[in-house]
Amino acid sequence: MHTTEIEVETGGREVVHDLTDACHWFLAGVDGGAGAGDGLLHVFVPHATAGLAIIETGAGSDDDLLRALRDLLPSDNRWRHRHGSAGHGRDHVLPAFLPPYASVPVLSGDLTLGTWQSICLVDTNVDNHVRKVRLSFLPG
């Protein structure tokens, strides 16, 4: 298995951050730059308040996702988990809806994403400005 950890600066705001380019870069560097062959790319966010989504970005879907999460998980005082900023308890529920992991098949070193799909970090936690993401390639 080949693995690395990257850091993503979210800037302390709700964000859908596209990781697809970082995933391509990682796969190209597997085996000393020879690149990945066939296998699986596993992406993991080791945080209790962030998740991953495979969605279209740049056409408004990323903003729509954040809006839907605000509707589904309002940032108010209903949450029992109450440390951090107001409504922070909802951030701890987020990974139940957007899991902190995703696996994507890789064929001949290329992600098998659909035309408009991107691998994205989704972070609604405004208290944490830097996130770690673990990328792992499991050869087939």
What's the mean pLDDT in 40-47? 98
126 versus 101: the higher-pLDDT residue is 101
> Which pLDDT belongs to residue 129?
92
At 86-124, the pLDDT tens digits run 778 999 999 999 999 999 999 999 999 999 999 999 999
The contacts of residue 62 (CB under 8 Å, 6+ apart) are 16, 55, 120
Quote the DSSP letter at residue 8: E
| HSE-up (13 A, CA, CB side) for residue 82 | 5
Collapsing DSSP to helix, strand or coil, 69 comes out as helix
> Which pLDDT belongs to residue 102?
98
The contacts of residue 3 (CB under 8 Å, 6+ apart) are 134, 135, 136, 137
Q: What is the rounded CA–CA span in Å between residue 137 and residue 140?
A: 9
Q: What is the rounded CA–CA span in Å between residue 68 and residue 50?
A: 15
Q: Which domains does the chain have, with CATH numbers?
A: 2-139 (2.60.120.460)
DSSP H helix total and E strand total for the chain: 3, 8
Q: Where are the beta strands (DSSP E) in the chain?
A: 2-9, 15-18, 39-44, 50-55, 101-107, 110-111, 118-123, 130-139
